[in-house]
Structures are given as structure tokens and as C-alpha cells.
Amino acid sequence: MRHETATFGAGCFWGVEVTFRNTPGVIDAVAGYCGGATERPTYEEVCSDETGHAEVVQVTYDADRVGYDQLLNVFFASHDPTTRDRQGPDVGRQYRSVIFYHDDAQRQAAEAARARWDASGRFRRPIVTEISPAAPFWRAEEYHQRYLEKRGLASCHV
């Protein structure tokens, strides 16, 4: 088993966590914050839209069972990557569509996937997903972890 890490922001992390947790080959999916300047930000600070963080899910996966390209497909298929700083009713920079890459291979794969999905014709507008180097990941408060599962909604997909 080869454990690897991927980090995705696709709006509110509750649904994103469930989506990745339900993906075969994913070992764990943790809600948190990435891409901002504040150390150990709280949910309230991130929601202020002043820290620069995005709500993200850090995915630990078995690379022998699921590839990074497959995770990228789950990412692009599970949200609207054409809306800047917004997913559904959630508005603000913390809800941006973003891929935080952990190495150059992930960066290249993310750029190729974004171009492929943009050219696919699935979306009527251009994809605005950011691709950025992984920044410190801050685990969200415990009440955010497995939030939908705790409410009996863990089998839903976003």
C-alpha cells in the first residue's frame, strides 16, 4: 500500500469530505483550511474571508488502488469549477475551487486535467479552478469532521 496525499477545495468541505471518503482507494478525508496566512485559523476566522484560507479536504489515498488522475476526475465532476469564489449558496474566497499540489507530478496532472475538463464541453463557462503549491494544512475543528456522517447523510454525494 502506497499512501499519498492530495488536497482539494470545492466549496463547503462537508460534502467534499463525503465525496472523497466514498471514493474507493481513499483511506481518509479530513476537513481543514489551506492557502492562507493565519496560523491555526478557526472556522470563524476563515469565514470572515480575511485569512485567505480555502475550506479544503486533505485526502490520504492508496495510490495502488486509486490514482491521482482519478481523484482529479472526482474533484471536477463533484462541483462547479466555473464559479469564482462560490459554490451554490456559499460565497467567499474560502469556497474557491482550488487544487493544492504536493509535488511537480501533481501540478502537471492537475493542469492537464483542468485543460481536459475545460475542453470537454461539460461546462458552459471556462474553468476557474486555481492550482497552487500546497501550503500548511490546518485541520478544522472536530465538529466539522465527518459532519454529514454524524447527521446520517454520509452516503450522499455532492
User: Which residues lie across from 137 on neighbouring strands?
Assistant: 34
Q: Tens digits of per-residue pLDDT, 12-71?
A: 999 999 999 999 999 999 999 999 999 999 999 999 989 999 999 999 999 999 999 999
Domains defined for the chain, CATH in brackets: 3-150 (3.30.1060.10)
Whether 154 shows a pLDDT value over 60: the answer reads: yes
Q: What average pLDDT does the chain have?
A: 94
**DSSP string across the chain:** --EEEEEEEESSHHHHHHHHHTSTTEEEEEEEEES-SSSS--HHHHHTT-S--EEEEEEEEETTTS-HHHHHHHHHHTS-TTSTTEETTEESGGG-EEEEESSHHHHHHHHHHHHHHHHTS--SS----EEEE---EEEPPGGGTTHHHHTT-TT---
pLDDT-derived band at 103 (thresholds 50, 70, 90) equals very high
The reply to whether 12 belongs to the active site is yes
Whether 156 shows a pLDDT value over 80: the answer reads: no
Could you identify the residue written with the cell 492537475?
A: 110
Mean pLDDT, residues 87-99 taken together: 95
Give pLDDT, residue 146.
86
